[in-house]
Amino acid sequence: MAIYALSDLHLSKAIKNKSMEVFGEEWKDYEAKIDENWKKTVTDDDTVLIPGDISWALTLEAAYEDFSYLNNLPGKKIIIKGNHDYYFSTLTKVNKFLKDNNFDTITVLNNDSYLVEGYNICGFRGWGNTDDDTVDDFKVYKRELVRLELSLNSIKEENKDKPIIVMTHFPPFRYEIKEMFKKYNVKLCIYGHLHGDGHYMIKEGNIDGVEYKMVSGDYTKFELIKLN
Protein backbone atom coordinates (compact mmCIF):
# COMPACT_ATOMS: atom_id res chain seq x y z
CA MET A 1 0.00 0.00 0.00
CA ALA A 2 1.61 3.21 -1.20
CA ILE A 3 1.56 6.82 -0.02
CA TYR A 4 1.29 9.42 -2.78
CA ALA A 5 1.12 13.21 -2.80
CA LEU A 6 -0.39 15.83 -5.09
CA SER A 7 -1.08 19.44 -4.11
CA ASP A 8 -3.04 22.31 -5.64
CA LEU A 9 -5.79 20.43 -7.44
CA HIS A 10 -7.77 23.69 -7.80
CA LEU A 11 -10.92 21.76 -8.71
CA SER A 12 -13.77 23.82 -10.13
CA LYS A 13 -16.55 21.40 -11.07
CA ALA A 14 -19.28 23.89 -10.10
CA ILE A 15 -17.49 27.08 -11.18
CA LYS A 16 -17.59 27.63 -14.90
CA ASN A 17 -14.94 29.52 -16.88
CA LYS A 18 -12.41 29.32 -14.04
CA SER A 19 -9.08 29.10 -15.85
CA MET A 20 -5.66 28.42 -14.37
CA GLU A 21 -3.88 28.88 -17.70
CA VAL A 22 -2.70 32.34 -16.63
CA PHE A 23 -0.07 30.35 -14.67
CA GLY A 24 1.16 28.49 -17.76
CA GLU A 25 0.29 26.04 -20.51
CA GLU A 26 0.66 23.15 -18.06
CA TRP A 27 -2.78 24.06 -16.71
CA LYS A 28 -4.60 23.39 -19.97
CA ASP A 29 -7.15 20.60 -19.36
CA TYR A 30 -5.59 20.07 -15.92
CA GLU A 31 -8.64 18.38 -14.39
CA ALA A 32 -8.55 15.73 -17.10
CA LYS A 33 -4.84 15.20 -16.41
CA ILE A 34 -5.51 14.78 -12.69
CA ASP A 35 -8.24 12.26 -13.42
CA GLU A 36 -6.16 10.19 -15.83
CA ASN A 37 -2.99 10.14 -13.73
CA TRP A 38 -4.82 9.44 -10.48
CA LYS A 39 -6.85 6.52 -11.84
CA LYS A 40 -3.85 4.85 -13.47
CA THR A 41 -1.68 5.23 -10.35
CA VAL A 42 -3.72 4.98 -7.15
CA THR A 43 -5.57 1.93 -5.81
CA ASP A 44 -8.19 1.84 -3.07
CA ASP A 45 -5.55 0.52 -0.68
CA ASP A 46 -3.31 3.59 -1.17
CA THR A 47 -3.29 6.97 0.59
CA VAL A 48 -2.90 10.35 -1.10
CA LEU A 49 -1.70 13.43 0.80
CA ILE A 50 -3.14 16.69 -0.55
CA PRO A 51 -1.44 19.78 0.93
CA GLY A 52 -4.09 22.36 0.16
CA ASP A 53 -5.82 24.40 -2.55
CA ILE A 54 -8.27 21.64 -3.32
CA SER A 55 -11.31 23.56 -4.55
CA TRP A 56 -12.05 27.06 -5.87
CA ALA A 57 -15.46 27.01 -4.19
CA LEU A 58 -16.25 29.83 -1.79
CA THR A 59 -18.66 27.83 0.40
CA LEU A 60 -19.02 24.21 1.46
CA GLU A 61 -22.27 23.96 -0.46
CA ALA A 62 -20.52 25.12 -3.63
CA ALA A 63 -17.67 22.67 -2.96
CA TYR A 64 -20.01 19.66 -3.04
CA GLU A 65 -19.23 18.61 -6.62
CA ASP A 66 -15.47 18.91 -6.10
CA PHE A 67 -15.51 16.85 -2.92
CA SER A 68 -17.89 14.31 -4.39
CA TYR A 69 -15.48 13.85 -7.28
CA LEU A 70 -12.47 13.65 -4.94
CA ASN A 71 -14.21 11.18 -2.63
CA ASN A 72 -14.92 8.83 -5.55
CA LEU A 73 -11.34 8.76 -6.77
CA PRO A 74 -9.37 5.66 -5.68
CA GLY A 75 -7.62 5.64 -2.33
CA LYS A 76 -7.89 7.40 1.00
CA LYS A 77 -7.12 11.12 1.07
CA ILE A 78 -5.64 13.23 3.85
CA ILE A 79 -6.05 16.95 3.24
CA ILE A 80 -4.93 20.23 4.78
CA LYS A 81 -6.16 23.74 4.12
CA GLY A 82 -4.47 25.92 1.49
CA ASN A 83 -4.66 29.68 1.08
CA HIS A 84 -7.35 29.37 -1.62
CA ASP A 85 -9.59 26.93 0.24
CA TYR A 86 -12.07 29.69 1.08
CA TYR A 87 -14.88 27.20 1.83
CA PHE A 88 -12.86 26.03 4.87
CA SER A 89 -14.37 28.14 7.65
CA THR A 90 -13.92 25.85 10.68
CA LEU A 91 -12.78 22.27 11.14
CA THR A 92 -16.10 21.40 12.80
CA LYS A 93 -18.09 22.60 9.79
CA VAL A 94 -15.84 20.83 7.29
CA ASN A 95 -15.97 17.55 9.21
CA LYS A 96 -19.76 17.80 9.45
CA PHE A 97 -19.95 18.46 5.70
CA LEU A 98 -17.83 15.38 4.98
CA LYS A 99 -19.87 13.21 7.36
CA ASP A 100 -23.28 14.45 6.20
CA ASN A 101 -22.39 13.71 2.58
CA ASN A 102 -20.73 10.34 3.27
CA PHE A 103 -17.42 11.57 1.89
CA ASP A 104 -15.71 8.84 3.86
CA THR A 105 -12.45 8.56 1.92
CA ILE A 106 -11.42 12.12 2.90
CA THR A 107 -9.86 13.04 6.26
CA VAL A 108 -8.80 16.53 7.38
CA LEU A 109 -5.47 16.88 9.17
CA ASN A 110 -5.61 19.79 11.62
CA ASN A 111 -3.43 20.01 14.75
CA ASP A 112 -3.21 16.21 14.80
CA SER A 113 -1.46 13.33 13.04
CA TYR A 114 -2.18 9.94 11.48
CA LEU A 115 -0.19 6.73 11.22
CA VAL A 116 -0.16 5.49 7.62
CA GLU A 117 1.90 2.53 6.44
CA GLY A 118 4.39 2.99 9.27
CA TYR A 119 4.74 6.76 8.75
CA ASN A 120 3.51 9.53 11.04
CA ILE A 121 1.67 12.01 8.83
CA CYS A 122 1.74 15.52 10.31
CA GLY A 123 0.99 18.90 8.81
CA PHE A 124 0.08 22.57 8.88
CA ARG A 125 -0.80 25.20 6.32
CA GLY A 126 2.20 27.47 6.86
CA TRP A 127 2.25 31.08 5.75
CA GLY A 128 4.30 33.30 3.45
CA ASN A 129 7.35 32.66 1.31
CA THR A 130 10.00 34.92 2.82
CA ASP A 131 10.94 36.59 6.11
CA ASP A 132 9.65 39.96 4.81
CA ASP A 133 6.31 40.02 6.65
CA THR A 134 3.80 42.62 7.65
CA VAL A 135 2.83 42.61 11.32
CA ASP A 136 -0.41 40.75 10.49
CA ASP A 137 1.46 38.20 8.35
CA PHE A 138 3.85 37.48 11.20
CA LYS A 139 0.94 36.88 13.60
CA VAL A 140 -0.54 34.32 11.20
CA TYR A 141 2.86 32.70 10.71
CA LYS A 142 3.37 32.35 14.47
CA ARG A 143 -0.06 30.71 14.81
CA GLU A 144 0.90 28.29 12.06
CA LEU A 145 4.07 27.36 13.95
CA VAL A 146 1.89 26.48 16.95
CA ARG A 147 -0.25 24.29 14.68
CA LEU A 148 2.84 22.50 13.39
CA GLU A 149 4.06 21.74 16.89
CA LEU A 150 0.60 20.59 17.99
CA SER A 151 0.60 18.17 15.07
CA LEU A 152 4.08 16.86 15.83
CA ASN A 153 3.28 16.57 19.54
CA SER A 154 0.15 14.54 18.77
CA ILE A 155 2.21 11.54 17.63
CA LYS A 156 1.48 8.69 20.03
CA GLU A 157 4.29 7.52 22.27
CA GLU A 158 4.36 4.05 20.72
CA ASN A 159 4.81 5.59 17.26
CA LYS A 160 7.56 8.08 18.02
CA ASP A 161 10.23 5.81 16.58
CA LYS A 162 8.51 5.83 13.18
CA PRO A 163 9.49 8.32 10.45
CA ILE A 164 7.58 11.59 10.06
CA ILE A 165 6.19 13.09 6.87
CA VAL A 166 5.11 16.72 7.19
CA MET A 167 2.68 18.12 4.63
CA THR A 168 2.38 21.89 4.30
CA HIS A 169 0.90 24.20 1.72
CA PHE A 170 3.42 27.04 1.75
CA PRO A 171 7.18 26.61 1.17
CA PRO A 172 8.62 25.50 4.55
CA PHE A 173 12.11 27.01 4.49
CA ARG A 174 11.90 29.66 7.16
CA TYR A 175 14.28 29.41 10.09
CA GLU A 176 11.73 28.55 12.81
CA ILE A 177 10.19 25.77 10.73
CA LYS A 178 13.56 24.22 9.96
CA GLU A 179 14.47 24.34 13.65
CA MET A 180 11.22 22.56 14.54
CA PHE A 181 11.92 19.90 11.93
CA LYS A 182 15.31 19.39 13.55
CA LYS A 183 13.79 19.20 17.04
CA TYR A 184 11.32 16.48 16.03
CA ASN A 185 13.66 14.67 13.62
CA VAL A 186 11.45 15.23 10.57
CA LYS A 187 12.97 13.48 7.53
CA LEU A 188 10.51 14.30 4.73
CA CYS A 189 8.43 17.40 3.96
CA ILE A 190 6.12 17.95 1.00
CA TYR A 191 4.70 21.31 -0.07
CA GLY A 192 2.90 23.12 -2.90
CA HIS A 193 1.51 26.63 -3.54
CA LEU A 194 4.06 27.78 -6.14
CA HIS A 195 2.91 28.10 -9.75
CA GLY A 196 4.22 29.54 -12.99
CA ASP A 197 6.89 32.17 -12.41
CA GLY A 198 6.89 31.23 -8.72
CA HIS A 199 8.69 27.99 -9.56
CA TYR A 200 12.00 29.84 -9.22
CA MET A 201 11.51 29.62 -5.43
CA ILE A 202 11.29 25.82 -5.44
CA LYS A 203 13.84 23.93 -3.38
CA GLU A 204 14.05 20.15 -3.38
CA GLY A 205 16.36 17.42 -2.17
CA ASN A 206 18.16 16.98 1.14
CA ILE A 207 18.58 20.25 3.00
CA ASP A 208 20.05 20.05 6.51
CA GLY A 209 18.96 16.43 6.86
CA VAL A 210 15.37 16.88 5.64
CA GLU A 211 14.21 15.67 2.22
CA TYR A 212 11.94 18.23 0.54
CA LYS A 213 9.56 17.46 -2.33
CA MET A 214 7.50 19.97 -4.29
CA VAL A 215 4.17 18.34 -5.21
CA SER A 216 2.13 21.16 -6.77
CA GLY A 217 0.14 19.85 -9.73
CA ASP A 218 1.61 21.99 -12.48
CA TYR A 219 5.15 21.22 -11.28
CA THR A 220 4.60 17.44 -11.31
CA LYS A 221 2.67 17.59 -14.60
CA PHE A 222 -0.28 16.50 -12.45
CA GLU A 223 1.35 13.14 -11.77
CA LEU A 224 1.16 11.83 -8.22
CA ILE A 225 4.47 11.58 -6.37
CA LYS A 226 5.18 8.32 -4.53
CA LEU A 227 6.56 8.90 -1.02
CA ASN A 228 7.31 5.38 0.26
Which has the minimum average pLDDT: 20-24, 50-54, 67-71, 103-107?
20-24
65 and 77 in contact (C-beta within 8 Å)?
no
Q: What is the pLDDT of residue 130?
A: 52
pLDDT digits (tens, 9 = 90+) for 139-176: 889 999 999 999 999 999 999 999 999 999 999 999 99
Domain count, the chain: 1
State the average pLDDT over residues 118-125.
Answer: 97
pLDDT digits (tens, 9 = 90+) for 22-43: 677 788 888 999 999 999 999 9
Radius of gyration from C-alpha coordinates of the chain: 17
181 and 148 in contact (C-beta within 8 Å)?
no
55 and 12 in contact (C-beta within 8 Å)?
yes
Paired strand residues for 168:
124
- Give the DSSP per-residue string, 141-208: HHHHHHHHHHHHHTS-GGGTTS-EEEEESS---SHHHHHHHHHTT--EEEE----GGGGGG---EEET
160 and 43 in contact (C-beta within 8 Å)?
no
State the average pLDDT over residues 126-147.
Answer: 78
Kindly tell me if the per-residue pLDDT of 131 is higher than 70. Answer: no
Q: What is the pLDDT of residue 9?
A: 96
Q: What is the pLDDT of residue 21?
A: 66
Q: What is the chain's mean pLDDT, rounded? A: 93
Question: What is the residue type of 50?
Answer: I
3-state secondary structure of 65: helix
- From the CB of residue 103, how many other CB atoms can be counted at a distance below 10 Å? 17
Q: What is the pLDDT of residue 7?
A: 98
Read off the pTM: 0.94
DSSP state of 203: -
Kindly tell me if the per-residue pLDDT of 17 is higher than 70. Answer: no
Kindly tell me if the per-residue pLDDT of 224 is higher than 70. Answer: yes
- From the CB of residue 221, how many other CB atoms can be counted at a distance below 10 Å? 10
Q: Check which CATH number belongs to the domain holding 175 and give it.
A: 3.60.21.10
Going by C-alpha positions, the residue among 74, 75, 120, 66 that lies closest to residue 98 is 66
Q: What is the pLDDT of residue 11?
A: 93
> In terms of residue numbers, what domain contains 103?
3-226
- From the CB of residue 34, how many other CB atoms can be counted at a distance below 10 Å? 21
193 and 168 in contact (C-beta within 8 Å)?
no
Q: What is the pLDDT of residue 137?
A: 78
Question: What is the residue type of 57?
Answer: A
State the average pLDDT over residues 170-194.
Answer: 95
Going by C-alpha positions, the residue among 106, 97, 40 that lies closest to residue 77 is 106
